[in-house]
Structure 1
């Protein structure tokens, strides 16, 4: 009999989600900064999911934990360990990681199982498997993903603990992970930068200030141009989204454009009194374009026609330079225009941009090849840096041999001597060059609010940019080459390198899954064009790494025909794309099911977006495809968990219905002899099992905002354990209909809680459900009060209701702001306690709530207060009352910590509470 794992029962979801959200603010040293990849999973999420996937739930070990209380206590201990484990600063706490490994061994017959992600992408899951001491396996069809995973999990352990070989390295024996390798990447990166500047530095002249001082240029601001369609004034018109260079207070700068002698002249003005409104642009999405000088309007269609005929030019409109106290802005000069006019270098590797306007708009304007996204000067810089990788590699070999390293085989052949080590250093240098490409292209814009350059991939697409910033790769500011190498170095210094890892280029449909635990983040239907986007970097990586990773970069562009993405441009329209994705997806998970690891569930991530929601409360094609594909491939889904990298309060405060940014599913192989059932029997089983599962969820560390999604787990588990569920007409029930039934059952279960509440609370819940905080007739209130076994007078004495002049209403939180002492409240209902505590949580924070809980615990059932918080969140969300949902979610999300704090408080030590400062309009 298989043992249930922790992920199939309970998770400290709030702690995981908080750590995942916090990761977004961590930059230097975070492994995601090694190289850009799309939609990576937060490391905290991956680490927590792997641990919970591999560790037994206490209830599955009754010989050790025979009672419910002992199981709850052990579960709480494991949750506490996980809450520490997900904290970024604990990523290198060897003592804590050792505890985690011991727990994994205890649940897996004394061993640490190997883990595979067959859609490895940016590498979060394999990296965290390695951090937990597990043998990590990563595979992907995309060569960019394979290179990233090699750099994260395969190369660092091979050279862990090794001292650097460069001539300036100091002798020391303190290297534990890949710090020595990182030091060499930094050293040879500096050599590449200096050598490149020696060869092409003259193409990047300094700018001379009016006082005669010279300054290093950070970026040149250019505007694309087209000829004005006005035949009476056919000037070259600059296409500018904003004339502003800097909007920082006291340092404002903008470009003034004037027409003189049939040409546009540009002057940088230092003044806060710059262009506003319609004067700030000459091209704007939704409004078209206009000519400077005479204001002649023209359309995007006209610009496209000019672009397709090769008639888009460019003008230098401003220069940004380094100053002692920030940025300096200069008017363009002919010398700097001339410096950029260099011959186009030989581009041996180029690629055609995908003609998919959803992700790429440049082809519509005549820019059909990746090389056309660069100026000639940028192409010179990038080819120079790319080719210097091979030269740097030879220097590493020559420096390593005198340090005692044997020559050995190359890295791809499995070597670990000087040749392989030089290949390793070159790999990271090439990633540094590739990172530079993100900034050193003609699709980067200038951010006038932050005085810095925006990289091309500010989102998962390459849009057309009209006024672009050309970065200086030899400056000390944004986008410079050495800065990009430093990002790579800091990431390398922080990878665990604690267990062996492998990264292979292979299709998920073809690879072997024997003996491997699978945790994976597959492509999200049609959300991201991974291979098409990757080509932008791949053409440069291939130029640098053809002799170092010849197998990985063997193709001219990234493989696309077999990429598991629903791309209508590649698969004969929307229906063909859907069919391709579903067939491929089902094939992958049918093959995974043939693996022989039955003791551990598989975990699968799904990126759930706000716009996936449909009006009936279910979700769109991608989500249904995932569930349907897994079930048809023979999997039983045993849990679903919402994983967020956005803080709950932020999502709710923005008025969203707070759908998760990812859902993690736990899945086990369904027995081949699984029975079929009827709709009636399925509904009966659902109503039998779901209430208990929901109560377990609500008693654990889950927020109300996540309950509906988490409830799908036990619900879809019932559905997926059957070979089929037959409708009354004999057809098979669809996943969509099953989800509707699960949602309806959730409503019923939460609604049934009302019968356990006191009469005043039952009345208030029913009133809130119908009228919220609005005013209605006293007659309606009287009828509902009688039906709830209470009265209007009793409700008024309870301090939660008001009736006068034939009108009645529930008192909103803003009006429950008088000083309140639960111990002296003569008619304290669960409703009053819940609403007041939620109000205090929102206004004064957790400490104030804990003090009140300490006083209220002998006068009201606190478990009922928490249950009502769940119910009221659910009702507020259905009514689209984001403010109320935020209020009740805030209280229940922090309940565990608050309750623990309250247990340590002596209520007699508290003085009378001050009045609440609650403004409902804020």
Structure 2
């Protein structure tokens, strides 16, 4: 059986860097087709799939007979991955074809099918398809299935086709889904124009005072958003007929030099609360206004007219009685040089309240979808919207139904087959095309709903509305921004649709794709299936509860396209593999449901997986989980146990990061947002061994595996989780490991032993350093950079066959007045040259390299220094791992730990540049000698 690259080494830092960068990319990213929660980065999925299928060079001793040849070939494959993971490569056919060629070289022309039984947001099937592999996905959730179909199943049906709308012309060719994207945009514009004709009166412009600087002197301005606040009757009996606003903040814009805030004008005699818009107030005035809004917020609000306390219990009572109201407090308009904030007016409020939608979603909010909104009388999906927002969603949905016939007619007139075959039946003619375009238009409605509901906050720093699902819940908000439907900004159907169009244009399927609705526990896998999947993690996200927000909208617009998928009244919940206490009657029952179901699902994978390839499973870490228990956390150990019980042997673990190391906590690795488990089917002849035998196997097999990880420049922060792979490879190879009392060893105990062996390994390589460096390590571990007693220092030095004076002569410690101290990096000789140092130490080499790297990063100067260090480079890297471990886990010095971690992260590129450094002095000397 050929070993695959992912079982040995991958360029983890390059993958993580690309994954981090991808988070900042929105335009054209497939995630903008439709919201889904906790998607895996495309870069990581692409790299994992490539490494999962491509042979490691050690599998071909005939072609790569020496360790040097194996390493050179591995580096060549790394370079392909490093290019492949770049965002720009997602549409670079040349780069993609190089990757596909490598896959074909390892797999032959009969390419395996890639299957993801928890396809969710579709990242894995999409990247499999991009790599030219037959792609399959399945999910229990109807919304996830629609996302999957939109990404991998529909675009290949209409590949390279010209648009069908009658205004198309001028272009002679279309790549990939460009024609489909153009039609989505065209017919979306048709819908928008007719929506304006029908409901444009509900979205008036606003009169801007002439002379307003940002308005350019115009009297009518385009509304960006209306700022509303929820209200309750004053709890003071004397003012019970006054609707009191529950403003959480009086600030509208916090941009420096452009501060705008609301000043309340209270008249107790007339029992009125009015608001004026203030600009450029003093910090004291703004603070006073904010205090008025937020004083005692944890206990509730205060009545602006009577100063009585408004407790949350009171607000809940009012809300559940249906007596909570809303009030317009400000209007945001678009000016010539930015946002203009205007006071509310009665006409705009009257128009908004006059909207009377004929349709309203009735699904009851459940679980994390409701969080606490139900406590305030917001119990259904429809309650999350204003009447005007519902009118807009209703109108656009009606128009999607109307435009479908027009699309079909236009397609027939353009020569597309009039075969009356639906998409669900494999159709690719005019009817199927009209359904495809309509489905993407319905996605536009979903995107619109996310930014156009009564739970969208107004960002005071960005001066724009913020979409609802900024986190995986629906929180209660007291003031919200209602976006304008025809503003050409966030909240406009055109804007929502533009994101979908940009994503469609970049879809470049290189194979067919299939997405079905099915649960992972009973799924029958196609023959030759290679499995890569990102299952739900425990209780992190209640996907079904959250996606109910979109379900009725999607059902209304797509149930005639895929009736079987939408025959249910809501998204399936009891079958969903999440540990939701509210759904299953308590924490224990929820945990049992998750673990039992996940074990069945993984066992089903083990039965269906192609034995010639490893299976990859993503495990999503919670930051709190790692902080509490580290890499041997209960959740992690339980999941590993379920994987092994299902019949898998774990042969690799790769931490995938999507956050920079600003989140590094000393003492543990919290950089990894998820870990990719690499699994092989366990052989049926596996035996039982003792604890002692397991430890001996670890000591024999783990050090060379860790050395290979170091050679691949795995960052020190990622080493503990990466070392789990070869360690668990030993543990899970056996049928069982017995403790001294004959009880089976737990996975958690095995993880702790693996971590201990890693520590021993890092300690063991100290013996390869020079004596002065070994002294510095020990002294630093005990004292840090503080001074310690000379006598103790001399005893440590003597044990290493040297003296304190030797270490002082090396230039790495200070010794005076009976005290010894390790010098800081900035105290070392800045004119130091490794080639002329007669008392060279690994410690100095590392500290000078770190100092330069901290200052310049990957630079010519840093590369030159690495080249000068020469054959001591590997020892310097080893020392960086050791000092990272000391600072992160023992001295709790995050800043120092990050410095060493950053150097290793950049080591590959520094080494590459060092290899090409031009030694001008050497060349000049050679010419002088001639």
Q: TM-score, normalised by structure 1?
A: 0.96
The whole-number CA distance in structure 1 between the counterparts of 2:308 and 2:289 is: 14
Give the distance between the partners of 1:101 and 1:883, measured in 2 at CA: 42
Task: Indicate whether 1:862 and 2:861 are aligned.
Answer: no
Q: In the alignment, which residue of structure 2 is the partner of 1:253? A: 260
Between stretches 809-818 and 559-568, larger displacement belongs to 809-818
> Is residue 275 of structure 2 the alignment partner of residue 263 of structure 1?
no
Among 366, 369, 381, the residue aligned to 1:370: 381
Q: Calculate the TM-score normalised by the size of structure 2.
A: 0.95
Task: Give the 3 Å change call, closer, same or farther, for CA 799–59 of structure 1 in structure 2.
Answer: same
- Say which SS state the counterpart of residue 538 (structure 2) adopts: coil
Residue in 2 that maps onto 1:225: 231
Shift, 1:183, TM fit: 0.4
Query: Retained in 1: the 8 A contact 2:356–2:387?
Result: yes
The aligned counterpart of 1:584 is 597
Task: Measure the CA separation in 2 of the matches of 1:501 and 1:262.
Answer: 65
- 1:615 positional shift: 5.2
Matches within 5 A, 1:11-410: 11-170=10-169, 172-211=171-210, 213-234=219-240, 235-260=242-267, 261-273=270-282, 275-277=285-287, 279-280=289-290, 282-283=293-294, 286-347=298-359, 349-356=361-368, 360-408=371-419, 409-410=421-422
Q: Which of these residues, 631, 638, 656, is aligned with residue 644 of structure 2?
A: 631
Q: Which segments of 5 or more consecutive residues in structure 2 lack a partner in the other structure?
A: 211-217, 924-930
**Equivalent of 1:532, from 539, 545, 557?**
545
Q: Hey, what does 2:457 align to over in structure 1?
A: 445
1:10 corresponds to which residue?
A: 9
- The answer (yes or no) to whether the contact 1:854–1:907 under 8 Å persists in 2 is no
Measured in 2, the distance between the counterparts of 1:601 and 1:78 equals 18
* Contact 1:642 1:710 survives alignment (8 Å): yes
Distance in 2 between the 1:788 and 1:36 partners? 61
Verify: 1:760 aligned to 2:772, yes or no: yes
In the alignment, what sits opposite 1:844? 856
Partner of 1:620: 633
Distance 2:423 2:554 in 1: 17
**Alpha-carbon offset, residue 342 of structure 1:** 2.5
Residue 849 and residue 287 in structure 1: after superposition, are their counterparts in 2 closer, same or farther (change >3 A)? farther
- Indicate how the Cα distance of structure 1 residues 884 and 184 shifts in structure 2: closer, same or farther if over 3 A, else same: same
Given that residues 10 and 78 in structure 2 are in contact (C-alpha distance below 8 angstroms), is that contact kept between their aligned partners in structure 1?
yes
> Aligned partners of 1:895 and 1:226: how far apart in 2?
61
CA deviation profile, 1:371-393 (whole Å, cap 9, x unmatched): 00111111111111112111111
**Superposition pairs for residues 800-839 of structure 1, below 5 Å?**
800-816=812-828, 818-839=830-851
1:595 corresponds to: 608
Q: How far apart are 1:740 and its partner, in Å?
A: 0.5
In the TM superposition, what is the alpha-carbon distance from 1:285 to its structure 2 partner? 5.0
Give me the whole-angstrom Cα distance separating, in 2, the residues matched to 1:313 and 1:124: 42
Question: What does residue range 766-805 of structure 1 map to in structure 2 within 5 Å?
Answer: 766-805=778-817
- CA deviations 1:178-217 (Å, max 9, x no partner) are 1001000000000111111110111111111122711121
Q: CA deviation at 1:907?
A: 4.4
Q: CA deviation at 1:771?
A: 1.5
CA-CA distance at 1:730 after TM superposition? 1.6
Aligned length: 906
Cα deviation digits, residues 673-727 of structure 1 (max 9, x gap): 2111111111110111000000010011311111111000000111111111111
Alpha-carbon separation, structure 1, partners of 2:561 and 2:361 = 16
2:572 is the counterpart of 1:559 = yes
Q: Give the Cα separation in 1 of the matches to 2:58 and 2:605.
A: 27
Shift of 1:303: 1.4
Cα displacement string for residues 539-588 of structure 1 (whole angstroms, at most 9, x for unaligned residues):
11111112122122221211111001111111121111111111011101
Q: Which whole-Å CA distance do the structure 1 matches of 2:335 and 2:920 have between them?
A: 62
Structure 1 residues 826 and 363 mapped into 2: Cα distance closer, same or farther (>3 Å)? same
8 Å contact kept, 2:229–2:245: yes
- Shift of the 429–356 alpha-carbon distance from structure 1 to 2, 3 Å rule, reads closer
Instruction: Name the CA shift for 1:575/1:808 in 2 (closer, same or farther; >3 Å).
Output: same
Between the aligned partners of 2:637 and 2:550, the Cα distance in structure 1 is 33
Work out whether residues 114 and 517 of structure 1, in 8 Å CA contact, stay in contact via their aligned partners in 2: yes
Bigger shift: residues 3-12 or 212-221: 212-221
Show the 5 A alignment for 1:401-440.
Answer: 401-408=412-419, 409-440=421-452
What SS does structure 1 have at the residue aligned with 2:354? Answer: coil
* Residues 286-295 or 890-899, more deviating: 286-295
Alpha carbons 1:640, 1:665 under 8 Å: kept: yes
Residue 657 (structure 1) shift: 4.0
Residue equivalent to 1:485:
497
Q: Deviations over 1:510-535 (max 9, x none)?
A: 11123211000000111111111111
- For residues 115-140 of structure 1, what are the alpha-carbon distances to aligned partners after superposition, in whole Å with 9 as ceiling and x for unaligned? 01110011110000000001110100
Partner of 1:919: none
